[in-house]
Structure 1
Amino acid sequence: MYKSKINYQRATFLTSAPDIKALPADEGIEVAFAGRSNAGKSSALNTLTRQNSLARTSKTPGRTQLINTFSLDAERRLIDLPGYGFAKVPLAVKEKWQKSLAEYLMKRSSLKGLVVLMDIRHPLKDLDQDLIHWAVQSELEVLILLTKSDKLAVGARKKVLSEVREAAMAFMGNVTVHTFSSLNKQGLEELEQVLDTWYGAEDSAFDIT
C-alpha cells in the first residue's frame, strides 16, 4: 500500500484571484486541478485533503469563477482552476475563463503538473482535449482523472480506462490516466503518488508528513 509522503490534510486556503496577475509570487511548486463544471473537481480536492469544505462544492455548476489557491507548505500549493463548459454560463464569462486558463497554463513557471478531471461516463470532451493540448504545448505533465468511477461496474470502468489511455497517446505528451471516486476513495492512492512525484516528495529530504 502506498503511503503519501505529503500530508495533504495540511492544505489551507491562501487566496482567490480573478486572474494570473493576482496570484501569489510565481515560485515554489504548484499543481493545478481543472475540469468541466460537473466533473467533481471540488469533491476530489476535498477527498485528497480529507477536508469536507476546503473546496466549495455547489449544486450550481459554473459558480466558481476565481482561481483558488491552497497552501500545503511554504513551497507547495494546490490550485483550483475555474470550472468550464457549463452551458448556462454567459458567453463573455466563458471566454474570460478560457483566457485565464490559457494564460495560467502558458505563463506560470511554478506550475509543475495539471490534473484534468472528467466524469468517467463523459470523458475527453472538446474543451478537455483543448486544455490537455495547451498543457502539453507548455511541457506540463498531465494526469487525467476519471471521476465518479463508482457509477460504473468494474468491467465498464476498466473498459473506459483502457480506451482513454489509448486515446491519450495522441496528445504526444506526458499524460497518464487513472480512475477516481470521491465516494469510496478508489484511486486516491494513485492520485497521491502522482502528486508526490510532481512536488518532489519522493526525495526523503522533502518529506513533510
Structure 2
Amino acid sequence: MKIAVAAANGKASRKIIAEALKRGHEVVVFGRHEQNDTGASTYIRKDIMDLTKEDVKGFDALVDGFGAWAPETLPLHTTTLLHLADIVSDTDTRLLVVGGAGSLYINGDHTKALYEAPDFPPAFKPLAEAMGQSLAELRKRNDVKWTYISPAADFQADGERTGSYEIHGEEFAPNSKGESIISYADYAIAMVDEIEKGDHLGQRISVVRK
C-alpha cells in the first residue's frame, strides 16, 4: 500500500512510519523539520497547512499525526484536520487520525466525555477539549473516508511493544486488568492494521493494551 504521513516528526508518527515500513508498505512523509528524523527514505519538508491535493494524490491512506499543546496553538487541531479532510475530499484516500483519549465517552448515551470527569487532570483538559472539538468537526464530513483512533488514557511514548491490543468503540474502556494503557509502538500496530483492513470507516475507535 502507499501511505502518506503528515506531521511526520512527532513520536507517534515515527512509530507508525516504522511499523508501516516494517510491513513493506511504500511510505512518503511530510514534516516541518529540516532534518529527516523519521526513518522514511522519502521525506518532504512541508508544513501540514501547505499540503495540497496533488501531494497526496494516489495514496491509499493519509495519516494525521499532528499534535499541539500550547494554549495558543490548540485550535490548530481543528484547522489542520479540516485542511487534510479537504485535500482528500471525494477521493479514495482514507484519512486516519492519531486522536486523544480525553474525548472518549464515559456514559452510555454519549453525552459526557472523559475530560469532564471530576478526576481528569486539569492540565490536560484544554488539550482534550481541543481534540474533542476537532473530532466533532470531522464527524460532519460525509465526503471523506476517515477513521479516528483514540489511544488509552496512559499513552506511553517509550512503552514496550507487546504486539497485541484490544479495540473498543466510543466509550472509555480499560482492559481486563482494569488498565487503560498502550504504548506508542502498540498503537502503531493498531494504526497500520486499520490502514490495511479499513474496517472502521467514518468511525472513532479506541485501542488499549491487552
Smaller-chain TM-score bracket: 0.3 to 0.5
> Which structure ranks higher in relative contact order (CA pairs < 8 Å, sequence separation ≥ 6)?
1
TM-score w.r.t. the length of structure 2 is 0.43
